[in-house]
Structure 1
Amino acid sequence: MNKLTQKQQLFKEFCRKTLRTNPFGLEFSTNGLNLLSKRYGVTTTELTTIISQVRQEATGNAK
C-alpha cells in the first residue's frame, strides 16, 4: 500500500489521533473493524494494514 486513497488517509489520521490520546485505542473487535470499514469505505484488510503502520510509526519501527 504505497499511495493511500483519501479515505485511507482519513482513517490513518483517525488512528494517529486515537493513539495519541489512548495507547490501547487501536484494539478493535471484528465487529468494530466492520463498522469502521463501512464508515470509511475501506476494507477491513486495509484497515488492519493501516493500524499496523500507525503502530510501527508510533514505536519508531516504521520502514
Structure 2
Amino acid sequence: IERYKEAIIDLTKLLNIEPNSKFALRYLGEAYHLTEETIIDLAKLLCIEPSDFVDESLKTKL
C-alpha cells in the first residue's frame, strides 16, 4: 500500500508538469483502483487519446 501512495504522489507531480501525460494518467488511474479520481483520470485519457485501450467494463463507468 505504501508503494501505491508513493506512486500517486509521484504521478501527481508528473501531471503538474505534464498535464496531458498519457503515462501518468494511465498509471495514476491504476494506483487509485477505481476511485472517483480514477474515473476522472481515465476519462481525460480517453479525451487525449480516444484509441487508447481502456477495459470495456471501465468505459461503462465513464
**TM-score higher than 0.5:** no
Which fold has the larger relative contact order, with Cα–Cα distance below 8 Å and residues 6 or more apart in sequence? 1
Could you state the TM-score of these two structures normalised by the residue count of structure 1?
0.39
